[in-house]
């Protein structure tokens, strides 16, 4: 996947979809109460590039940006199997690094179009692959070089994938598209199954550009939207996993224009990577679990210093809970993308950095062993 547009990116594989907020058929979205439910379809149109990264990713989703296939086969250093690993997706390929030391590149998965990544306790890697005409989640078992061991079919645009402690898989994005109409929602799969066990559509006005998802320890799912220049990001919750029926909107005392990955920390808090409308700073806000539909105020703030336009909007929390890897653009010469390690929740300067191939785009990050809240 090679980016032809020189505009470089500000936060979010999520806001990939921010522009899919323009999915609404125009740059102005209809104003509707966040609590309102229904399946109001949104038209999918190719938006103008205005907010750097978010729209570049949307261009990828809309087929505007060409994908450059990797010609080398997948590979994995057998000595690295079973060790703590870092997975960084550039769409195609997915690079595999050791965690710790010099973060050596030890493997690569070719042939995936992963726009988001997740892992489970067995070390399996889940790649949400999105071509905006068909989507799937491919599951790779260690050593990750034998092709997918499982493929979960799904909607038109799978953008975010999460795996629970019990092995339930949730995929957020465009679940149904008919012509130019898209309905946003979450598809659930029981552990090991390729047949959906539940599909939950969200409020189509509030949750346009539904992106990322994360489970807590009780199989409650948290979701967020990319946000846009005209509508702030929205956070939601879906209870019940395979028995889920509906999504609720969660309120906060602070608002942010754009949101990327959403995770659940070791302390059980909801952590969201955000950026303001001017992309002046990338920040992770962490909240206690919601009460009565309210997340309230952040209980921890993690600043990620440097130009906000260097952050890709995707992050993963290491198993110990005290370090995170954040997708990053422009981390080396010639706009080389990659990922940087930060202390969590204190933030500050990056402690380690890995770099990918110039001209590609960081869109997904996962670690193994995963943090299990």
- Tell me the per-residue pLDDT of 85-140, one tens digit each, with 9 for 90 and over: 999 998 888 999 999 899 999 999 988 878 899 999 999 999 998 655 667 899 99
Tell me, what's the pLDDT at 361? 78
- CA within 13 Å, CB half, 227: 24
Tell me, what's the pLDDT at 313? 85
Cα–Cα distance list, 172 to 103, 162, 279 (Å): 30, 9, 25
Strand blocks (E) in 202-266: 210-215, 221-225, 235-238, 247-252, 258-264
- CA within 13 Å, CB half, 106: 22
Q: Range with the lowest mean pLDDT among 7-21, 133-147, 279-293, 306-320?
A: 7-21
Tell me, what's the pLDDT at 167? 96
- Taking phi over 0 as left and psi of -120 to 50 as alpha, with beta for the rest, 147 belongs to left
Tell me, what's the pLDDT at 209? 84
In the predicted model, is pLDDT for residue 34 greater than 60?
Answer: no
In the predicted model, is pLDDT for residue 310 greater than 50?
Answer: yes
In this structure, the dihedral spanned by the alpha carbons of residues 81, 82, 87 and 93, taken in order and rounded to 10 degrees, is: 20
pLDDT band at 370 (very low <50, low <70, confident <90, very high): very high
Mean pLDDT (the chain) is 78
Tell me, what's the pLDDT at 10? 32
> Which tokens in the block code for residue 336?
């080389």
Q: Range with the lowest mean pLDDT among 51-55, 147-151, 330-334?
A: 51-55
Domains and their CATH numbers in the chain: 19-27+40-368 (2.120.10.30)
- Tell me the per-residue pLDDT of 151-198, one tens digit each, with 9 for 90 and over: 998 667 778 999 999 999 999 988 876 666 778 999 999 999 999 999
Tell me, what's the pLDDT at 225? 92
Higher pLDDT, 20 or 222: 222
Higher pLDDT, 58 or 40: 58
Q: pTM for the complete prediction?
A: 0.83
Higher pLDDT, 23 or 349: 349
In the predicted model, is pLDDT for residue 59 greater than 90?
Answer: no
Residue 350 CA, chain-centre distance (Å), reads 20
> Which tokens in the block code for residue 214?
């994360």
**Mean pLDDT of the 312-335 span:** 85
Higher pLDDT, 13 or 271: 271
């Amino acid at each position: 996947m090679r980016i032809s547009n020189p505009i470089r990116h500000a936060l979010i594989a999520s806001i990939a979809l921010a522009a899919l907020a323009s999915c609404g058929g125009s740059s102005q979205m209809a104003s509707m109460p966040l609590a309102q439910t229904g399946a109001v379809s949104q038209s999918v149109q190719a938006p103008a590039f205005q907010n750097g990264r978010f729209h570049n990713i949307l261009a990828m989703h809309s087929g505007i940006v060409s994908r450059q296939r990797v010609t080398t086969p997948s590979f994995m250093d057998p000595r690295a199997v079973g060790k703590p690993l870092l997975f960084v997706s550039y769409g195609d390929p997915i690079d595999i690094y050791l965690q710790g030391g010099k973060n050596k590149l030890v493997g690569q998965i070719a042939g995936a179009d992963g726009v988001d990544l997740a892992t489970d306790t067995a070390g399996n890697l889940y790649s949400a692959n999105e071509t905006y005409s068909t989507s799937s989640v491919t599951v790779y078992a260690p050593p990750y070089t034998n092709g997918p061991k499982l493929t979960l079919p799904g909607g038109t645009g799978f953008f975010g994938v999460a795996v629970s402690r019990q092995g339930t898989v949730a995929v957020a994005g465009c679940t149904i598209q008919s012509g130019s109409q898209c309905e946003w929602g979450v598809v659930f799969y029981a552990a090991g199954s390729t047949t959906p066990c539940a599909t939950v559509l969200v409020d189509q006005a509030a949750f346009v550009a539904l992106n990322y998802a994360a489970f807590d320890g009780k199989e409650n799912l948290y979701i967020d939207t990319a946000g846009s220049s005209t509508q702030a990001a929205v956070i939601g919750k879906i209870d019940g996993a395979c028995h889920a029926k509906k999504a609720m909107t969660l309120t906060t005392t602070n608002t942010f224009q754009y949101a990327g990955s959403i995770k659940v920390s070791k302390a059980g808090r909801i952590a969201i990577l955000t950026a303001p409308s001017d992309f002046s700073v990338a920040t992770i806000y962490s909240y206690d679990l919601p009460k009565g539909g309210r997340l309230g105020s952040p209980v921890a703030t993690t600043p990620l210093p440097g130009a906000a336009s260097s952050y890709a909007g995707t992050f993963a929390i290491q198993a110990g809970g005290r370090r995170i890897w954040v997708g990053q653009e422009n981390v080396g010469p010639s706009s080389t993308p990659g990922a940087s390690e930060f202390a969590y929740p204190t933030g500050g300067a990056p402690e380690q950095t890995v770099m990918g191939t110039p001209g590609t785009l960081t869109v997904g990050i996962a670690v193994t062993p995963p943090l299990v809240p």
